[in-house]
Amino acid sequence: MPRSRNTQGAIYMSSAMAGFSCSDALSKSVIVYMNAGQIMCLRGLFTSVLVYAIARYMGALRSWRVMLKPMVLVRVVCEVLAAVTYITALGMMPIANASAILQSLPLVVTFGAALFFSEPVGWRRWLAIVGGLVGVLIIIRPGAEGFTTAALLCVASVLVTAGRDLATRGIGPEIPSLMITVVTALSVTIIGALLTPVLGGWQPVSATALSHLLLAAVLVLVGYQSVIMAMRTGEISFVAPLRYTSLIFSALLGFIFFAEVPDLWTLIGAAVVIASGLYTFYREAKRHVQPVAQESEPRTPV
């Protein structure tokens, strides 16, 4: 493939990661004013309207009975859990730390594919998975009292997001991805509304906070479209590793807007996770196996 197409794909992927990181920062900026349920409800509402309009324009709407399909239901449940755990974690830990832990997602997806779909995984990739786990442990560094709540929530978000990706593989091609996103966004909105009174009740929403959540929803959708364009434009083995640029963007945003500075151990742990992920990508490309890790979705769309 011509290098220019790979370069173009790299630009799309890097732009997507910048968009996702900005969306995280915008969500983090409002969590001091409202709880995770309210954020899910409002951001999910904006996402639902936007995705529904796009799906309607693209002719991707289908009967709501698609929700009755087991894998669609599993995917939606995982997406909802990913949203509530990650948003809550963002409010309790530096954005760069949360992003670094999230980088272990391709490794967890590879593990899940081997466990549930009998995907062949050689000993080298198993070592990479173990290495990634060690990297995550370095980042969260459990103390004498064990793991912090924020760390556990972020790890839980990785696990359920991996479950989402694995469930997606079991959904037939007759159901458009946009329809799945519509169902997911509406589900997140409803669950967020139900969680709001449990997590502290509805708080007054300023115009600034509302605009932040609207922009966060737009950035995530643009980011997802950019990921799709990146995968379709460049070679997957070339563009997939650029998902790790999100750690750079997250660290910069955390420093500029929240005065957060990653410590040495966080940087070391992130380096171990990234190295493990890159090696997994390399082995997939070299052995010409199913690019399970490389095609894992970087973020939750709602």
* pLDDT at residue number 299: 62
- Residue 298 maps to a domain: no
- Residue 293 maps to a domain: no
> Which pair of tokens denotes residue 7?
């370069």
* pLDDT at residue number 227: 84
- Residue 225 maps to a domain: yes
- Residue 292 maps to a domain: no
The b/e string for 124-146 (b: 16+ C-beta within 10 A; e otherwise) is: ebeebbebbbebbebbbeeeeee
* pLDDT at residue number 252: 95
CA atoms within 13 A on the CB side of 143: 4
* pLDDT at residue number 15: 93
Whole-model pTM: value is 0.88
**What secondary structure letter does DSSP report for 198?**
H
- Residue 196 maps to a domain: yes
Residues of the chain where predicted confidence (pLDDT) is lower than 50: 1-2
* pLDDT at residue number 1: 46
CB distance 45 to 189 below 8 Å: yes
- Residue 302 maps to a domain: no
Quote the domain boundaries for residue 53: 3-287
* pLDDT at residue number 296: 63
Our count of domains for the chain comes to 1
- Residue 247 maps to a domain: yes
- Residue 299 maps to a domain: no
CB distance 188 to 40 below 8 Å: yes
